[in-house]
Structure 1
Amino acid sequence: MHSRKSSIVAGVIALSVLSACAVLDSRPDSTASAGSWNIVRKSESVEVMVRKGVPEGALKTPGLGTVRVHSSFAGDDVEEVQRIADALTSKLKTELPAAGDGASTLNVTISELSPVSPALNVASALLVFYPLDTGGATIEAELVDSGGTRVAVWRERLSGGLGLTGSLSRWAKVRNAVVAWGEACAHQPPWLMPAKVAAL
């Protein structure tokens, strides 16, 4: 009996760890291979690139363009995913500074959404006293200058966090992570890092 319980615990932990991993899917990016991009940041979960020679002004205070969702969910999940996109749009509209004349445009795409499994969180909470499934989403933000040239790209795989809040909801953790990302995008986008470092 003890070994069976140990096997179940090990299985739940393995599944939870795998579901909580925030790893950005690699994909061939033709713009990066052209050699005209500076890689600002690159890790398993984040990729930030800025086109070489782009003036700092083109990276500051963009106007909000489109927020798109690419998903293949059905039923109630479609509404929940749309609520996530609407929450991000609302956050960016209220948090982004006013865009000046000739400002770049910020376009955002949410994809690869994975909801929390409430059943897995109940099982893990019973076995290890903590819900471990976090859900996740991939977000890609691009800045396009007034001439239509893509000048910055920020791709990140988000996870919902391991806290108790939202552990029994399929989408609450994902929504919270996406909205928190929107706040960071509005106030401290990583494509401004080179300009800030150069100014020091």
Structure 2
Amino acid sequence: PIKGAPGRPLTRPLATNGIIGSLYEPQSGWPDLRFALGAGFNGNGTPLMSIVDSFLGRQPDGTYSDNSLDALYAVNCLDRTDRADPQRTIELGDEWASTSPTFGRELAWSNLPCYDYPAPPTNEPRVIAADGAKEILLVGTTRDPATPYVWAKEVNDQLANSVLITFDGDGHTGYGRNGCVTNAVDKAFLSGELPSADTTCS
């Protein structure tokens, strides 16, 4: 740990969360992260602590701006039938760290709250084809740090009637961050006209 906010040292998990949060938005997050990492390497963890607090919605008085983290775990845990116990989490951390030394172990441990979540899983993962539905529009970002592009491709392959817009770019999501994507989505909602099946925006 290094010096962070008063009474709150910057630990590795907090630093990792700050890095992950910064990767969502290349325009503002990446420059802020560059500055925060420079400060951190010089023993000052305050900038990175500020980033993680902003990412998690933590206020100066220790309260949180909303319950989005609670909602995130509610959704994720109810979808998980493979809730890992602490020993399995340690094993997963080692496995994932071999693929991602920076994030693997922390991401494995981030699933542990689901182990003793007070409600059982109710939505076992399954293939969803949505047969009979009108055409469904999907957007996938090729270098999305949170929702990998391969997931968008897999869902597109599962659905019986869908169109995938590929945003060849960085950051989390494409709508509102890329004019080509935004225009295509707006057109779909406003006029019902979907783009061609192989639309790529950059």
Q: TM-score, normalised by structure 2?
A: 0.20
Considering Cα pairs closer than 8 Å and 6+ residues apart, tell me whether 1 or 2 has the greater RCO: 1
Q: TM-score, normalised by structure 1?
A: 0.20
